[in-house]
Amino acid sequence: MSDDGSFYQRDLAWHPPVLTPPYKTSVLRSPRRAPLSLPNTVSEMTGPVFGHDMLGPQDNDLILNYAKAGEPIGPRILIKGRVIDQDARPVPGALIEIWQANAGGRYRHKRDGYLAPLDPNFGGCGRTITDEQARYTFRTIRPGAYPWPNGVNDWRPAHVHFSVFGHAFAQRLVTQMYFEGDPMIWQCPIVGGIPDKAAIEQLIARLDREATLPMDAMAYRFDIVLRGRRSTLFENRKEGN
Ligand SMILES: [Fe+2]
């Protein structure tokens, strides 16, 4: 966020509070003191952190980008959407990174000890950049739910982790996407930390029959809304000034 007030402030009633005790990790992780406001430096506001040439042709295809001998097991899906700001302006050129468990609910990570097996053909990571209309697409397999050591018997709903980078180092959003119709969403202590039901609904990707590929892959739509700028398109000044 720039320090001249040109961006909307974060709506703290929309985001989960930092301390939500049913989500046990938040107890130790939440700060005990009031936050300090630090001014951004020029490098944080202007520094590019990636380039289009970093991306490979299979980076947004998780079915193929780790395949060794055959394709990964699981329901084949597309995840499609747009990145817009809260004034409905498209955000082209945003880097989107995703990571997820495999169809059995197991991450390819050394600290994941869940007994579900790794899939030798699935890495679980992908990235892409929004196009001129701020659209993006991933091809992947639907992740499985997995248990986690929180309460006695807590399970995460099937989800995909998202990171969105804007045009500067300090512009980053990290969130999770869930799947329409999954009853586990409403039992999850992490999801339960979000105070507004409408904010939860915004994290649930909708089945998109229009984008479904016949005899191939179901499609889900997940649009991401970022905070907007207070400046309007009609102001007589350059972007970023
Ligand atoms: Fe996860």
Whether the predicted pLDDT of 241 surpasses 60: no
- Is 109 labeled as catalytic in the residue annotation? no
Greatest extent of the chain over all pairs of C-alpha atoms, in Å: 59
Phi-psi sector, 88: left (phi>0), alpha (psi -120 to 50), beta? left
The residues facing 95 across adjacent strands are 129, 165
| pLDDT at 70 > cutoff 90 | yes
pLDDT at 160 over 60: yes
- pLDDT value at residue 51: 64
Cα–ligand 1 centroid distance for 143 (angstroms):
9
**Residue 107 appears among annotated catalytic residues:** yes
Give residue-wise pLDDT tens across range 110-132. 999 999 999 999 999 999 999 99
pLDDT score at 3:
43
Helices (H), the chain: 25-29, 42-46, 197-201
User: Does the annotation mark 142 as catalytic?
Assistant: no
pLDDT at position 227 is 83
pLDDT at 206 exceeding the cut of 60: yes
Task: Please identify which of the residues 23, 66, 107, 178 carries the catalytic annotation.
Answer: 107
How far apart are the CA of 230 and the centre of ligand 1, in A? 34
- pLDDT for 237 beyond 70: no
Q: How far is the CA of 160 from the centre of ligand 1 (A)?
A: 7
Token representation of residue 191 = 């999801």
- Choose, from 15, 76, 135, 161, the residue flagged as catalytic: 161
pLDDT of residue 49: 66
Q: Which two structure tokens, joined as six digits, stand for 140?
A: 């992947």
Mean pLDDT over 186-198 rounds to 95
CA distances from 28 to 134, 190, 191, 201 (A): 37, 15, 18, 28
Residue of higher predicted confidence among 100 and 16:
100
Which residues, 6 or more positions from 217, have their beta carbon under 8 angstroms from its beta carbon? 76, 77, 78, 139
Q: What is the pLDDT of residues 123-156, one digit of tens each?
A: 999 999 999 999 999 999 999 999 999 999 999 9
User: If you average pLDDT over every residue of the chain, what do you get?
Assistant: 90
Give the whole-number percent of the chain exceeding pLDDT 70.
90
Tell me what the mean pLDDT of segment 62-69 comes to. Answer: 97
pTM for the whole structure: 0.90
Kindly report, residue by residue over 20-34, the tens digit of the pLDDT: 999 999 999 999 999
State residue 202's pLDDT score: 95
Whether 15 is a known active-site residue: answer no
Q: What Cα–Cα distance (Å) separates residue 45 from each residue in 137, 170, 223?
A: 27, 7, 25
Rg (alpha carbons) of the chain, rounded to whole number: 19
pLDDT (0 to 100) of residue 8: 81
pLDDT at position 52: 63
Between the CA of 118 and the centroid of ligand 1 the distance, in Å, is: 15
